[in-house]
Homo-oligomer: A and B are copies of this chain.
Amino acid sequence: MRKSQAFIAGIDLGGTSVKVIVADGRNKILASNKKKTDAGSNPKTLINEIASLVERTVADAGIKALSAVSIGAPGTIDMAQGVVDEAPNLGWRNVPLAAWLKSRLKVPVVVNNDVNIGVIGEHAMGAGERVSELAGVFVGTGIGGGLIWGGELYEGSHGWAGEIGHIVLLADGPVCGCGRRGCAEALASRTAMERDVREAVKDGRKSAVTSIMRERKKDRMTSSVIQAALAQNDPVMKEVIERAEYYLGILIANIVNALDPERVVIGGGIAERLGEDFVGPIRKTAAEYFLHPQAIKRVKIVKGALGDEAGPLGAVVLARKRLRRL
Protein backbone atom coordinates (compact mmCIF):
# COMPACT_ATOMS: atom_id res chain seq x y z
CA MET A 1 0.00 0.00 0.00
CA ARG A 2 1.14 3.53 -0.76
CA LYS A 3 1.83 6.01 1.97
CA SER A 4 -1.10 8.23 0.97
CA GLN A 5 -4.21 6.54 -0.24
CA ALA A 6 -5.96 9.81 -0.77
CA PHE A 7 -7.35 10.16 -4.27
CA ILE A 8 -7.87 13.78 -5.17
CA ALA A 9 -9.65 15.41 -8.09
CA GLY A 10 -7.77 18.42 -9.46
CA ILE A 11 -9.71 20.86 -11.59
CA ASP A 12 -8.59 23.74 -13.76
CA LEU A 13 -11.55 25.95 -14.61
CA GLY A 14 -10.60 28.31 -17.40
CA GLY A 15 -12.46 30.84 -19.49
CA THR A 16 -13.06 28.39 -22.34
CA SER A 17 -12.66 24.90 -20.86
CA VAL A 18 -12.57 22.89 -17.68
CA LYS A 19 -10.13 20.05 -17.14
CA VAL A 20 -10.49 17.44 -14.40
CA ILE A 21 -7.94 14.86 -13.32
CA VAL A 22 -8.05 12.23 -10.62
CA ALA A 23 -4.66 11.55 -9.06
CA ASP A 24 -3.43 8.94 -6.62
CA GLY A 25 -1.34 9.44 -3.48
CA ARG A 26 1.80 9.90 -5.56
CA ASN A 27 0.15 12.51 -7.79
CA LYS A 28 -0.01 10.04 -10.66
CA ILE A 29 -2.89 10.84 -13.00
CA LEU A 30 -5.35 7.92 -13.11
CA ALA A 31 -7.88 9.53 -15.43
CA SER A 32 -8.66 12.90 -16.95
CA ASN A 33 -11.47 14.62 -18.79
CA LYS A 34 -11.85 18.00 -20.42
CA LYS A 35 -14.83 19.88 -21.75
CA LYS A 36 -15.69 23.30 -23.07
CA THR A 37 -17.26 25.89 -20.83
CA ASP A 38 -19.80 28.41 -21.92
CA ALA A 39 -18.82 31.84 -20.65
CA GLY A 40 -22.41 33.03 -20.59
CA SER A 41 -23.87 30.04 -18.78
CA ASN A 42 -25.47 30.19 -15.35
CA PRO A 43 -22.89 29.56 -12.57
CA LYS A 44 -25.02 26.82 -10.96
CA THR A 45 -25.43 25.01 -14.30
CA LEU A 46 -21.70 25.15 -14.95
CA ILE A 47 -20.84 23.97 -11.42
CA ASN A 48 -23.23 21.03 -11.84
CA GLU A 49 -21.54 20.16 -15.12
CA ILE A 50 -18.16 20.28 -13.39
CA ALA A 51 -19.44 17.99 -10.63
CA SER A 52 -20.70 15.50 -13.24
CA LEU A 53 -17.31 15.64 -14.98
CA VAL A 54 -15.64 14.85 -11.65
CA GLU A 55 -17.96 11.88 -11.13
CA ARG A 56 -17.21 10.59 -14.61
CA THR A 57 -13.45 10.95 -14.05
CA VAL A 58 -13.70 9.08 -10.73
CA ALA A 59 -15.51 6.28 -12.59
CA ASP A 60 -12.87 6.31 -15.36
CA ALA A 61 -10.13 6.06 -12.72
CA GLY A 62 -11.79 2.94 -11.34
CA ILE A 63 -11.72 4.17 -7.76
CA LYS A 64 -14.51 4.20 -5.20
CA ALA A 65 -14.23 7.55 -3.53
CA LEU A 66 -12.35 10.84 -3.48
CA SER A 67 -10.75 12.40 -0.42
CA ALA A 68 -10.97 15.94 -1.74
CA VAL A 69 -11.66 18.15 -4.71
CA SER A 70 -9.34 21.05 -5.47
CA ILE A 71 -10.26 23.65 -8.06
CA GLY A 72 -8.58 26.68 -9.56
CA ALA A 73 -10.92 29.33 -10.89
CA PRO A 74 -10.09 32.38 -13.02
CA GLY A 75 -10.56 35.67 -11.22
CA THR A 76 -10.40 37.11 -7.73
CA ILE A 77 -11.04 34.45 -5.14
CA ASP A 78 -11.92 34.57 -1.45
CA MET A 79 -9.90 31.47 -0.65
CA ALA A 80 -10.93 31.16 2.99
CA GLN A 81 -14.61 31.09 2.00
CA GLY A 82 -14.16 29.30 -1.32
CA VAL A 83 -16.06 32.08 -3.06
CA VAL A 84 -15.30 33.46 -6.51
CA ASP A 85 -15.61 37.19 -5.91
CA GLU A 86 -15.33 38.12 -9.55
CA ALA A 87 -14.42 36.16 -12.67
CA PRO A 88 -14.88 38.41 -15.71
CA ASN A 89 -13.97 35.64 -18.18
CA LEU A 90 -16.86 33.52 -16.82
CA GLY A 91 -19.21 36.38 -16.10
CA TRP A 92 -19.32 35.35 -12.42
CA ARG A 93 -19.75 37.51 -9.32
CA ASN A 94 -19.89 36.22 -5.72
CA VAL A 95 -20.29 32.56 -6.64
CA PRO A 96 -19.99 30.15 -3.65
CA LEU A 97 -18.01 27.61 -5.68
CA ALA A 98 -16.72 25.52 -2.74
CA ALA A 99 -20.13 25.26 -1.07
CA TRP A 100 -21.96 24.26 -4.25
CA LEU A 101 -19.37 21.68 -5.30
CA LYS A 102 -19.27 20.26 -1.77
CA SER A 103 -23.05 19.88 -1.60
CA ARG A 104 -22.94 17.79 -4.77
CA LEU A 105 -19.73 15.79 -4.20
CA LYS A 106 -19.76 15.45 -0.39
CA VAL A 107 -16.00 15.93 0.06
CA PRO A 108 -13.81 18.86 1.19
CA VAL A 109 -13.30 21.42 -1.59
CA VAL A 110 -10.24 23.67 -1.89
CA VAL A 111 -10.54 26.76 -4.12
CA ASN A 112 -7.67 28.83 -5.42
CA ASN A 113 -6.80 31.07 -8.35
CA ASP A 114 -6.42 29.16 -11.63
CA VAL A 115 -2.94 30.51 -12.23
CA ASN A 116 -1.69 29.93 -8.71
CA ILE A 117 -2.43 26.24 -9.28
CA GLY A 118 -0.63 26.32 -12.64
CA VAL A 119 2.57 27.63 -11.11
CA ILE A 120 2.26 25.19 -8.19
CA GLY A 121 2.00 22.33 -10.70
CA GLU A 122 5.02 23.45 -12.72
CA HIS A 123 6.96 24.03 -9.51
CA ALA A 124 6.09 20.66 -7.97
CA MET A 125 6.45 18.46 -11.02
CA GLY A 126 7.32 20.47 -14.15
CA ALA A 127 9.59 23.18 -15.56
CA GLY A 128 10.09 24.82 -12.18
CA GLU A 129 11.08 21.78 -10.17
CA ARG A 130 13.47 22.55 -7.32
CA VAL A 131 13.44 26.28 -8.15
CA SER A 132 13.18 28.37 -5.03
CA GLU A 133 12.10 31.68 -6.67
CA LEU A 134 9.82 31.05 -9.61
CA ALA A 135 7.39 33.23 -11.56
CA GLY A 136 4.71 31.66 -13.75
CA VAL A 137 2.95 33.49 -16.58
CA PHE A 138 0.04 31.61 -18.10
CA VAL A 139 -1.35 32.90 -21.37
CA GLY A 140 -4.82 31.73 -22.35
CA THR A 141 -8.25 33.36 -22.44
CA GLY A 142 -6.74 35.68 -19.86
CA ILE A 143 -3.23 36.05 -18.48
CA GLY A 144 -2.47 34.81 -15.04
CA GLY A 145 0.60 34.52 -12.97
CA GLY A 146 1.77 32.91 -9.84
CA LEU A 147 4.80 33.44 -7.67
CA ILE A 148 6.81 30.87 -5.74
CA TRP A 149 8.95 32.44 -3.03
CA GLY A 150 11.33 30.38 -0.93
CA GLY A 151 9.82 27.27 -2.47
CA GLU A 152 6.25 28.11 -1.44
CA LEU A 153 3.34 29.79 -3.19
CA TYR A 154 3.44 33.48 -2.40
CA GLU A 155 -0.10 34.60 -1.71
CA GLY A 156 0.52 38.08 -0.31
CA SER A 157 -0.74 39.53 2.92
CA HIS A 158 -4.45 39.01 2.09
CA GLY A 159 -4.20 36.10 -0.36
CA TRP A 160 -4.57 38.33 -3.42
CA ALA A 161 -1.05 38.18 -4.86
CA GLY A 162 -0.14 36.93 -8.33
CA GLU A 163 -2.47 39.01 -10.52
CA ILE A 164 0.26 39.44 -13.04
CA GLY A 165 -2.19 39.61 -15.97
CA HIS A 166 -3.42 42.91 -14.58
CA ILE A 167 -0.07 44.64 -14.48
CA VAL A 168 -0.63 47.73 -16.62
CA LEU A 169 1.94 47.84 -19.44
CA LEU A 170 0.32 50.47 -21.60
CA ALA A 171 -1.45 53.12 -19.55
CA ASP A 172 -4.72 54.16 -21.22
CA GLY A 173 -4.36 51.23 -23.62
CA PRO A 174 -7.11 48.82 -24.73
CA VAL A 175 -9.93 47.95 -22.32
CA CYS A 176 -9.37 44.80 -20.26
CA GLY A 177 -11.91 42.21 -19.11
CA CYS A 178 -11.41 43.65 -15.61
CA GLY A 179 -12.77 47.00 -16.79
CA ARG A 180 -9.46 48.88 -16.58
CA ARG A 181 -7.14 49.79 -19.44
CA GLY A 182 -3.78 48.62 -20.68
CA CYS A 183 -3.40 45.46 -18.53
CA ALA A 184 -1.14 42.72 -19.92
CA GLU A 185 -4.27 40.62 -20.39
CA ALA A 186 -5.78 43.29 -22.64
CA LEU A 187 -2.63 43.30 -24.77
CA ALA A 188 -1.39 39.74 -25.02
CA SER A 189 -4.03 37.17 -24.02
CA ARG A 190 -5.69 35.00 -26.66
CA THR A 191 -8.77 37.18 -26.17
CA ALA A 192 -6.73 40.30 -26.99
CA MET A 193 -5.19 38.62 -30.03
CA GLU A 194 -8.62 37.58 -31.29
CA ARG A 195 -9.85 41.16 -30.88
CA ASP A 196 -6.87 42.46 -32.86
CA VAL A 197 -7.37 39.95 -35.69
CA ARG A 198 -11.10 40.75 -35.88
CA GLU A 199 -10.33 44.47 -36.00
CA ALA A 200 -7.83 43.98 -38.81
CA VAL A 201 -10.40 41.98 -40.78
CA LYS A 202 -13.03 44.62 -40.11
CA ASP A 203 -10.58 47.20 -41.45
CA GLY A 204 -10.57 45.30 -44.73
CA ARG A 205 -7.47 43.14 -44.30
CA LYS A 206 -7.63 39.49 -45.28
CA SER A 207 -6.68 36.84 -42.75
CA ALA A 208 -6.60 33.05 -42.94
CA VAL A 209 -8.01 33.06 -39.40
CA THR A 210 -11.51 33.74 -40.76
CA SER A 211 -11.56 30.72 -43.07
CA ILE A 212 -9.83 28.42 -40.57
CA MET A 213 -12.42 29.25 -37.91
CA ARG A 214 -15.22 28.66 -40.44
CA GLU A 215 -13.79 25.31 -41.61
CA ARG A 216 -13.23 24.08 -38.08
CA LYS A 217 -16.56 25.45 -36.85
CA LYS A 218 -14.85 27.43 -34.09
CA ASP A 219 -16.48 30.55 -32.75
CA ARG A 220 -13.30 31.53 -30.90
CA MET A 221 -9.74 31.90 -32.04
CA THR A 222 -8.30 28.92 -30.19
CA SER A 223 -4.61 28.04 -29.96
CA SER A 224 -5.09 25.48 -32.75
CA VAL A 225 -6.53 28.19 -35.00
CA ILE A 226 -3.56 30.45 -34.22
CA GLN A 227 -1.17 27.61 -35.02
CA ALA A 228 -2.91 26.82 -38.32
CA ALA A 229 -2.93 30.49 -39.39
CA LEU A 230 0.78 30.85 -38.61
CA ALA A 231 1.50 27.64 -40.54
CA GLN A 232 -0.08 29.38 -43.53
CA ASN A 233 2.12 32.43 -42.94
CA ASP A 234 -0.95 34.60 -42.41
CA PRO A 235 0.42 38.17 -42.19
CA VAL A 236 -2.35 39.45 -39.87
CA MET A 237 -1.87 36.58 -37.42
CA LYS A 238 1.92 37.01 -37.55
CA GLU A 239 1.65 40.71 -36.81
CA VAL A 240 -0.82 40.16 -33.98
CA ILE A 241 1.15 37.41 -32.26
CA GLU A 242 4.42 39.33 -32.59
CA ARG A 243 2.80 42.26 -30.82
CA ALA A 244 1.53 39.96 -28.06
CA GLU A 245 4.99 38.40 -27.68
CA TYR A 246 6.51 41.87 -27.40
CA TYR A 247 4.16 42.83 -24.57
CA LEU A 248 4.74 39.49 -22.84
CA GLY A 249 8.49 40.18 -23.00
CA ILE A 250 7.97 43.54 -21.31
CA LEU A 251 5.66 41.92 -18.72
CA ILE A 252 8.31 39.35 -17.84
CA ALA A 253 11.02 42.03 -17.68
CA ASN A 254 8.81 43.98 -15.25
CA ILE A 255 8.56 40.89 -13.05
CA VAL A 256 12.29 40.16 -13.28
CA ASN A 257 13.35 43.76 -12.58
CA ALA A 258 11.06 43.96 -9.55
CA LEU A 259 11.43 40.44 -8.16
CA ASP A 260 14.56 38.80 -9.56
CA PRO A 261 13.30 35.20 -9.74
CA GLU A 262 15.58 32.32 -10.71
CA ARG A 263 13.29 31.20 -13.48
CA VAL A 264 10.15 32.24 -15.35
CA VAL A 265 7.80 29.59 -16.72
CA ILE A 266 5.47 30.46 -19.60
CA GLY A 267 2.46 28.18 -19.63
CA GLY A 268 -0.93 27.96 -21.29
CA GLY A 269 -2.28 26.65 -24.57
CA ILE A 270 -0.42 28.93 -27.00
CA ALA A 271 2.99 28.25 -25.43
CA GLU A 272 2.12 24.56 -25.42
CA ARG A 273 1.30 24.52 -29.15
CA LEU A 274 3.90 26.93 -30.49
CA GLY A 275 6.75 26.14 -28.11
CA GLU A 276 10.00 27.95 -28.86
CA ASP A 277 8.38 29.91 -31.73
CA PHE A 278 6.37 31.68 -29.03
CA VAL A 279 8.82 31.65 -26.11
CA GLY A 280 11.88 32.70 -28.16
CA PRO A 281 10.63 36.18 -29.18
CA ILE A 282 9.27 36.77 -25.65
CA ARG A 283 12.69 35.91 -24.19
CA LYS A 284 14.39 38.26 -26.66
CA THR A 285 12.24 41.29 -25.74
CA ALA A 286 12.48 40.50 -22.03
CA ALA A 287 16.29 40.48 -22.25
CA GLU A 288 16.24 43.90 -23.89
CA TYR A 289 14.27 45.23 -20.93
CA PHE A 290 16.27 43.53 -18.14
CA LEU A 291 17.90 46.21 -16.05
CA HIS A 292 20.71 44.13 -14.63
CA PRO A 293 23.23 43.24 -17.35
CA GLN A 294 23.77 39.74 -15.96
CA ALA A 295 20.06 38.89 -15.76
CA ILE A 296 20.13 37.77 -19.41
CA LYS A 297 22.38 34.87 -18.52
CA ARG A 298 21.07 34.14 -15.08
CA VAL A 299 17.29 34.32 -15.28
CA LYS A 300 15.93 31.47 -17.39
CA ILE A 301 12.67 31.90 -19.32
CA VAL A 302 11.25 28.50 -20.24
CA LYS A 303 8.06 26.90 -21.54
CA GLY A 304 5.92 25.02 -19.04
CA ALA A 305 6.51 21.26 -19.07
CA LEU A 306 3.10 19.99 -18.00
CA GLY A 307 0.81 21.44 -20.66
CA ASP A 308 -2.81 21.62 -19.56
CA GLU A 309 -2.11 19.24 -16.70
CA ALA A 310 -0.13 21.93 -14.82
CA GLY A 311 -3.27 23.45 -13.30
CA PRO A 312 -5.07 20.25 -12.25
CA LEU A 313 -1.83 18.75 -10.86
CA GLY A 314 -1.08 21.96 -8.98
CA ALA A 315 -4.59 21.87 -7.54
CA VAL A 316 -3.93 18.34 -6.25
CA VAL A 317 -0.57 19.35 -4.73
CA LEU A 318 -2.19 22.37 -3.10
CA ALA A 319 -5.01 20.28 -1.63
CA ARG A 320 -2.50 17.95 0.02
CA LYS A 321 -0.84 20.94 1.67
CA ARG A 322 -4.11 22.48 2.78
CA LEU A 323 -5.79 19.38 4.05
CA ARG A 324 -2.67 18.22 5.87
CA ARG A 325 -3.50 14.56 6.44
CA LEU A 326 -4.17 13.69 2.79
A: residues with CB less than 8 A from B are 76, 85-86, 132-133, 145, 147, 149, 154-164, 166-171, 178, 180, 246-247, 250, 253-255, 257-262, 288-289, 291-295, 298-299
Bound-state CA distance A10–B109 (Å) is 52
Instruction: For the complex of A and B, list the 7 residue pairs with the smallest distance between their C-beta atoms, beginning with the closest.
Output: A156-B260, A161-B260, A163-B257, A133-B157, A160-B260, A157-B262, A160-B292
Q: Chain B residues with Cβ under 8 A from A254's Cβ?
A: 167-168, 254
Q: Which of B85, B168, B260, B298 contacts A250 (CB 8 A)?
A: B168
Structural contact, B161 and A258, CB atoms closer than 8 A: yes
**A160 to chain B: which residues have CB within 8 Å?**
257, 260, 291-292, 295
Q: Which of B133, B145, B164, B291 makes the CB contact (< 8 A) with A163? A: B291
Chain B: CB-nearest residue to A155: B260
Q: A257 to B157, Cβ gap below 8 A?
A: no
A-B contact pairs, 18 of them (CB 8 A): A76-B291, A76-B293, A133-B156, A147-B259, A149-B149, A158-B260, A158-B292, A158-B298, A158-B299, A160-B295, A161-B260, A163-B257, A164-B258, A167-B167, A167-B258, A169-B169, A180-B288, A254-B254
Which among B85, B132, B258, B291 is the interface contact of A292 at CB below 8 angstroms?
A: B85
Number of copies: 2
Given known contacts A149-B149, A160-B291, A161-B258, what 15 new A-B pairs fall within 8 Å (CB)?
A76-B292, A85-B292, A86-B293, A145-B258, A147-B258, A154-B259, A157-B262, A158-B292, A158-B295, A158-B299, A160-B292, A163-B291, A167-B254, A169-B171, A180-B289
Q: Which residue of B lies closest to A163 (CB)?
A: B257
CB distance from A292 to the nearest CB of B (A): 4
Q: How far is the CB of A140 from chain B (nearest CB, A)?
A: 17
Query: Nearest Cβ distance between residue A298 and chain B, in whole angstroms?
Result: 6
The CB with the most chain B CB atoms within 10 A, among A132, A247, A250, is that of: A250
Check if B167 sits within 8 Å of A170, measured CB to CB: no
Max chain B C-beta neighbours (<10 A), residue from A147, A164, A178, A260: A260
A258 touches B162 (CB 8 A): yes
In whole angstroms, how far apart are the Cα atoms of A178 and B295 in the complex? 15
Contact A253 B168 (CB under 8 A): yes
- CA distance in complex: A306, B291 (Å): 28
Contact B163 A258 (CB under 8 A): yes
How far does the alpha carbon of A246 sit from the alpha carbon of B145 in the complex, in Å?
25
Residues of B within 8 Å of A166, CB to CB, are 257, 291
Per a CB cutoff under 8 Å, which of B147, B168, B253, B259 touches A289?
B168
- Which of A132, A149, A160, A294 lies at the interface centre, i.e. has the most chain B CB atoms within 10 A of its CB? A160
Q: Least Cβ distance of A293 to chain B in Å? A: 7
With A166-B257, A291-B166 in contact, is A132–B157 under 8 Å at CB? yes
